[in-house]
Structure 1
């Protein structure tokens, strides 16, 4: 039998749903949180699954804790694979409290970041400053992702406030608005203290806000399964652990038992 040099999975096996967009995609984007990956692990992540990865957030204020050459290398490798890479929003909140916003932007531009997250998960930021920060990010040529919600245990979504936030943030240039769930996924936003989704609140949000403008932090597999089953594989999901990225992509495509029922192709 002749051996060919090029093999390709039958599309019905590679993506039973027949829906997954290739990069650069506008639907079903995935954000991974990097909480301290070394260079080998980071390279492995990109070599294994960069086609399934749209955004990398260097969690909280970890960015200045890396050796600078290593940090630059991580940023450049991500950008070479068409990935938006940005510091966690908490780091910008630190810059605000330390009156060092100009220094923050100067440094992330010099290091090569191509995105920025603007949040008020820990401190309060008034609307005027939030607008200025979004515009500053846009002027610097960065992809701006904002975040809605507080990190405190038991914090909830205030619907009218969320609607206003999404409308104003996106009008000023934000690409996506992240819904806070922290890295634990418990007791914050749309998740109760056990990490279960509060479906009634979720439906209220989606009845008032364009879901394609929202990036849902969903670090737990049970949350990912629930949201994909409920809203489809094109939902934007974030705070995904690096070692769960391929598994999440399998969920999106109906390649795991949890979502196998999604694999009824439309074509």
Structure 2
């Protein structure tokens, strides 16, 4: 039983179809990660091994972390940059093989750091599905100047095409900082008109909004409710976000 449980607001239990939280693992040690999941794992749905961090750690450690996360009903997956490195080096066969051997049930497919034609990206999504992986795909560029070249109509079109190709969720790029990229301006404020345009065309339950900062998380929860899907959440902020979702913090008290 939770402390003061009579004051809590129940949320849908896992596996959830909405209200998804994706947490970014930037290289947590196994014991640290396990301790964190023992206290907060029930609030985490997806766990991304950030960008190419998996490459610099031993296979046994990655395997053990994947097993641990899955034991908490969390879907661990490889960061999109790792896929992009495999693509640019013509190593997709090896990439899929090793991801499977390490126990990853899902992968992220993106083109944020490299130039991949959209048709090739769609084909990679389809191939990953055929290989037996769940696919999360990301739309947007990590370079703010290149990202600005994407019109909102192009962004929406790419999102829908990637969902049609087999992505279970499509991620709206905001990077780890959440400023001057995608649907956030230089100050990190959400561009609400663009968000409304996306929501007018794409099923909200299929969108994972990268929202690394608290004010961004508050914005989405107040706008779309506590069942909004949020990603790139710091491992330090799992409990903080859950209290926002449950109306247990000043920003959302009485508003959920």
> TM-score scaled to structure 1, two decimals?
0.91
Partner of 1:44: 35
- The C-alpha deviation readout for 1:107-144, integer Å capped at 9, x for no partner, is 11111111100001011222331122112221222110
Query: Are residue 237 (structure 1) and residue 227 (structure 2) matched?
Result: no
Partner of 1:221: 214
Partner of 2:189: 196
Partner of 1:92: 83
Q: Which moved more, 1:223-232 or 1:203-212?
A: 203-212
CA contact (8 A) 1:86 1:114 kept: yes
Q: Distance in 2 between matches of 1:8 and 1:227?
A: 26
Structure number with larger C-alpha Rg:
1
Q: Secondary structure at the match of 1:56?
A: strand
Q: Distance in 1 between matches of 2:92 and 2:132?
A: 16
Match of 2:21 among 25, 30, 39: 30
Runs of 4+ with deviation above 3 angstroms: 7-12
Q: Secondary structure at the match of 2:187?
A: coil
Query: Are residue 185 (structure 1) and residue 173 (structure 2) matched?
Result: no
Greater relative contact order (CA < 8 Å, ≥ 6 in sequence): 1
CA contact (8 A) 1:253 1:262 kept: no
Q: Distance in 2 between matches of 1:149 and 1:77?
A: 31
Query: Are residue 163 (structure 1) and residue 162 (structure 2) matched?
Result: no
- The C-alpha deviation readout for 1:239-263, integer Å capped at 9, x for no partner, is 0000100110110110111001224
Aligned CA RMSD, in angstroms, stands at 1.5
Partner of 1:14: 8
Q: How many pairs were matched up?
A: 254
Q: 1:12 and 1:229, CA in 2 relative to 1: closer, same or farther beyond 3 A? A: farther
Q: 1:73 and 1:203, CA in 2 relative to 1: closer, same or farther beyond 3 A? A: same
Partner of 2:253: 260
- The C-alpha deviation readout for 1:51-110, integer Å capped at 9, x for no partner, is 100001011111111111111000111111111111110111111111111111111111
Gaps of 5+ in 1: 1-6
Q: Distance in 1 between matches of 2:36 and 2:219?
A: 25
Alignment of 1:126-141 (within 5 A): 126-141=117-132
Q: Distance in 2 between matches of 1:12 and 1:165?
A: 44
Gaps of 5+ in 2: none
Q: Distance in 1 between matches of 2:36 and 2:130?
A: 31
Q: 1:124 and 1:12, CA in 2 relative to 1: closer, same or farther beyond 3 A? A: farther
Q: CA deviation at 1:167?
A: 2.0
